[in-house]
Amino acid sequence: MSDGFPSPDTRNPVRLPDGSDLQGTVFLRPEIDHPQIEVGAYTYASTFDPPDDWAERLAPYLFDFSPEKLVIGKFCQIADGVTFITASANHRYDGFSTFPFAVFGDGRRENRPSLPGPGPDTIIGNDVWLGQGARVLPGARIGDGVIVGAGAVVGGEIPAYGIVAGNPARLVRRRFDDATINRLLELGWWDWPIETIVKAEAAICGADLAALERACPW
């Protein structure tokens, strides 16, 4: 813990005025135990009806036996209702029918012609804010610092520090100019020691690049 900042292994990092923990907000790294999900430190999710299984809530189509992964970076903020629709949700659609015959009945499922091949991983960068009800489609690659608007349906590759909104999600604008974005990616504040990050809070949240450069520990 740094100056009262919770450990990344804390389940419920928000303390209410009465001293109890806010059950609806969790750091996901200690909460999710799923072989196909990787979550970085301090990434949190919030909801008004906390589930027993956060992996199932966030990525309902990602099974233990799924070939693809969901990788989420550090310091991400995942609002209520966000869903990652990973590749195992897909149907084959290059033939005459999309019906998954292999799912039903007692026969073998491996290598059945009605099932698609393995799909791509879904990759979320660091410090990404996913707004309420956003849907992230299979194989999406969302760059560092991206903001995803509420209700957006996001697929493909989103550049670092972009703002996207809509269905399908479109790039509204970049948060900073190219030179600033490149320098932020070089600095990678999310990889600093948490003590340094907390001390640099004003620079990070106030967009003071000069102060952020002075705070860089290496």
For residues 167 and 169, give the distance between their C-alpha atoms in angstroms, rounded to a whole number.
Answer: 5
Cα radius of gyration (the chain): 19
Lowest mean pLDDT among 53-67, 77-91, 93-107, 138-152: 93-107
Q: Which token pair is 104?
A: 């039903």
pLDDT value of position 3: 58
For residues 123 and 48, give the distance between their C-alpha atoms in angstroms, rounded to a whole number.
Answer: 26
For residues 58 and 49, give the distance between their C-alpha atoms in angstroms, rounded to a whole number.
Answer: 13
DSSP conformation letters of the chain: -BTTBPPTT-S---B-TTS-B-TTEEEHHHH---TTEEE-TT-EEE-SS--S-HHHHH-TT--TT-S--EEE-TT-EE-TT-EE--GGG----SSS----GGGSSSS--TT-TTS------EEE-SS-EE-TT-EE-TT-EE-TT-EE-TT-EE-SEE-TTEEEETTTTEEEEESS-HHHHHHHHHH-GGGS-HHHHHHTHHHHHTT-HHHHHHH---
Q: Which domains, from first to last, does the chain contain? A: 25-175 (2.160.10.10), 177-218 (no CATH)
pLDDT value of position 39: 98
Residue range 6-34, pLDDT digits in tens: 999 999 999 999 999 999 999 999 999 99
Percent of the chain scoring above 70 in pLDDT? 98
End-to-end CA distance of the chain: 22
pLDDT value of position 106: 77
- Is 33 in contact with 17 (CB distance < 8 Å)? no
Whether residue 164 has pLDDT greater than 50: yes
pLDDT value of position 111: 80
Whether residue 73 has pLDDT greater than 60: yes
- Our CA angle for 162, 166, 167, nearest 5°, is 125
- Is 107 in contact with 160 (CB distance < 8 Å)? no
Lowest mean pLDDT among 61-70, 109-118, 159-168, 171-180: 109-118
Percent of the chain scoring above 90 in pLDDT? 90
pLDDT band per the 50, 70, 90 thresholds, residue 110: confident
Q: Which token pair is 196?
A: 């340094």
pLDDT value of position 1: 43
The tally of CA atoms less than 13 A away on the side-chain side of residue 15 is 7
Whether residue 192 has pLDDT greater than 70: yes
Does residue 91 carry a catalytic annotation? yes
pLDDT band per the 50, 70, 90 thresholds, residue 160: very high
| Active-site hit among 15, 91, 109, 170 | 91
Whether residue 35 has pLDDT greater than 50: yes
